[in-house]
A and B are shown apart, each in its own frame.
Chain A
Amino acid sequence: MNVRLRILGSGLSAPGLPDIDALAAVLAGGELGDEKPGSSSISLLSPRERRRCPETVRLSMAAAEQACSAAGIDPAQPDAVFTSGMGDLAISDYMCRTLAETPELLSPMRFHNSVHNAAAGYWSIGAGARGDVTALSGASDSLVTGLIEAASRVAADRRPVLLVVYDTVADGPMRAVWSPRHPFACAFVLGVADDAEAAIELHAQEGLRQDDCPPLPAALAERSADNPAARALHLLALSLGRGHGPLRLAARQGPGLRIEPAA
């Protein structure tokens, strides 16, 4: 199984990496900064909504909005795939603590924000996207899961798809099962590849259980090893013409992906 795709635009939201330009600077030899991913770059939510919405929403939406802007596509248009291993860990922590102590006091807003498709739902509301906006999980395989889902949609529907990959950090006992120390979100608008254009090719690779990608600068390699979503840094580097293929992205179950620039 292999499929050609075009990356029409991409976006990024992580500490020190508030956008694609910041990534390009680090790939060119610059230092990784320490600024927080800025919610000020989200225009699709009002300032009040930005303050009230969960962290996963702010993080993912910033990346998604950048990707649409870079692709020159109206955010309301593409179907979207949100993929995350753990969803909103801060809300899970709140829910489980409250249920253990004072269940009758559970906040209705936090409850409806606890669904795994909260980031997808807020995106749909903010962007006015009335097509399909779905939410997946593949645990630590979520990047590969999302890429396969997005690729199958581009092939089946022959129109661009927004793929948003994100995972945050456990700040509490969930650290025992989820170790990342840095949140990460990125987004791609993926489209049909015409023959003449620069494209990437995805190959399903059975039994691929170990990543094998060209090296990144140390600070980025550390992020990529820290958070399973941040393995997408390899694909972002490739799309910036900074990396060379192929990338081999492993999965614990199901096929991994070999990704290379299309010849």
Chain B
Amino acid sequence: MKDLHIAAMTLTCAAGSGLDALRASLRNGESGLRRNDYPNCELDTWIGRVEGVENVTLEGDLARFQCRNNQLAALALDQDGFRAQAAALLERHRPERIACVVGTSTAGISSTEQAFRELDEAGEFRPEHVMPWVHTPHTSAAYVAAALGLEGPVQTVSTACSSSAKVFATAARLIESGWADAAVVGGVDSLCLSVLYGFHSLELVSSDPCRPFDRDRRGLNLGEAAGFAIVEPRPQASLGRLLGWGETSDAHHMASPHPEGAGAIAAMRLALERAGLAPDQVGYVNCHGTATPMNDRIETAALRTVFEDPPPASSTKAWTGHTLGAAGITETVFSLLSLGDGFLPASLNCQDPEPDAADFILREGRRQKVDAVMSNSFGFGGSNCTLIMGAA
């Protein structure tokens, strides 16, 4: 396997836009969750909404991509000098040799919802809603490739909540097998009625700020985020190395995880095997940790199975909400920050931890230098992805 690096990254979510703002939020325990104020949604819950997404306009040729998901992506691309980093990447490689792989679950669906709310008298879309580049799951990668001028393979991964973790594995394969020399990867998911009412219908939404791994947790909060990274074999600077990944399926149920976490366990083990690491070489785990009663219990048991003595671990979802198709990139960026900064974030809002997790779930942020970090992402359809990153 080629030695793959993360050459650049950025993240925008409710807890902050750009890495400096996020570092401050993580250190100060400042959650981005707020009482639900999403338009047309009456649910009593908290959400991780990003301020100002609705004010972004996509100009010129990119106007065909105008929707909340791509507006959020545009906001994220504006942070941390990411557009300049992508331009520099285009100096190092031909555009045809740079792949674009983006994960999403919501894609442009908030615009599709609006188009259906505003049908004309014949029951058809009004002309302003006839946007073929928006009403498709592929809108996310298509927009990013167009916005950055990438001309290598373009792919949207849409496997629910594992989507934007899997983009790293996809990029690694495309580079390994010679389809690309480098890749821009990422994930974008935006708030929409489909996921707010959908998770509500499954009785998984909490009316309070979520409390991952707390024994009194009541469910998840939904959030939105966009994040991007450059994956490159020999970058000019490196934020960390992509050491391993494991992608598995539960083969159990569309919406419930395997009761013993078999798929999660297999994903973590595959990632360790590919990284060539023993479990005790992992210094921090960023958990999927959705704060649903079932996820956190099963993930705890899975961690106990893989690690004899689990390393410090936390879920960062009480900062961001569950950003679904963007959860993978969100938590990969947090994991890389902990690797680079030597600061492990707390599992915010976990006051009285699940007994089996009490010895390893971080209730306070901790200064601790680590050499390798793991990030877990598990989704509907039983789709699991674990990533392991190491120091540059």
Contacts and interface: CB of A to CB of B under 8 A. Distances in A.
Verify that A and B bind, or say they do not.
yes
Interface of A: 1, 3, 76, 79, 84-87, 92-93, 95-97, 99-100, 103-104, 106-108, 111-118, 120-122, 124-125, 127-139, 141-142, 145, 148-149, 151-153, 155-156, 172-174, 176-178, 204, 206, 251, 253-255
B137 A86 contact: yes
B193 interface: yes
Contacts, number: 231
Contacts of A116: 105, 137, 158-160
A134 B166 contact: yes
B112 A92 contact: yes
Contacts of B176: 152, 155-156
B159 A117 contact: yes
A106 B247 CA distance: 31
B160 A117 contact: yes
A253 B145 contact: yes
Contact of A145 (B123, B153, B201): B153
Interface stretch (B208-216, B250-258, B288-296): B250-258
Interface string B192-223: 01100111111100000000000000000000
A-B pairs, 6 with minimum CB distance = A121-B381, A116-B158, A111-B198, A96-B116, A155-B177, A132-B247
A204 B179 contact: yes
B177 A152 contact: yes
Contacts of B379: 115, 117
Contact of B193 (A103, A131, A153): A103
A133 B156 contact: no
Given A96-B109, A112-B202, A145-B155, 11 more contacts: A76-B251, A100-B113, A100-B116, A117-B159, A118-B381, A120-B159, A124-B250, A134-B159, A173-B116, A177-B136, A206-B151
Contact of B201 (A84, A111, A204): A111
B380 A156 contact: no
Interface stretch (B70-78, B125-133, B275-283): B125-133
Contact of A132 (B116, B124, B137, B248): B248
B346 interface: no
A177 B96 CA distance: 28
Contact of A133 (B109, B160, B383): B383
Interface residues of B, number: 73
Given A99-B193, A138-B138, A149 B170 contact: yes
A201 B371 CA distance: 42
B158 A117 contact: yes
B115 interface: yes
Contact of B197 (A3, A97, A103): A103
Interface in B51-104: 96, 100
Contacts of A134: 157, 159, 166, 170, 247, 383
B24 interface: no
Contacts of A131: 247-249
A117 B136 CA distance: 14
Nearest to A111: B198
- Greatest chain B CB density within 10 A among A122, A127, A132 is at A132
A92 B115 CA distance: 12
B146 interface: yes
B229 interface: no
Nearest to B381: A121
B39 interface: no
Contact of B251 (A84, A85, A125, A136): A125
A67 to B, nearest CB: 18
B154 interface: yes
A127 B123 CA distance: 40
A95 B194 contact: yes
Given A113-B254, A120-B383, A206 B142 contact: no
Contact of B152 (A79, A133, A254): A254
Contact of B156 (A96, A104, A136): A136
Contacts of A93: 116
Given A85-B136, A115-B380, A117-B379, A254 B153 contact: yes
A128 B155 contact: no
A116 B200 CA distance: 19
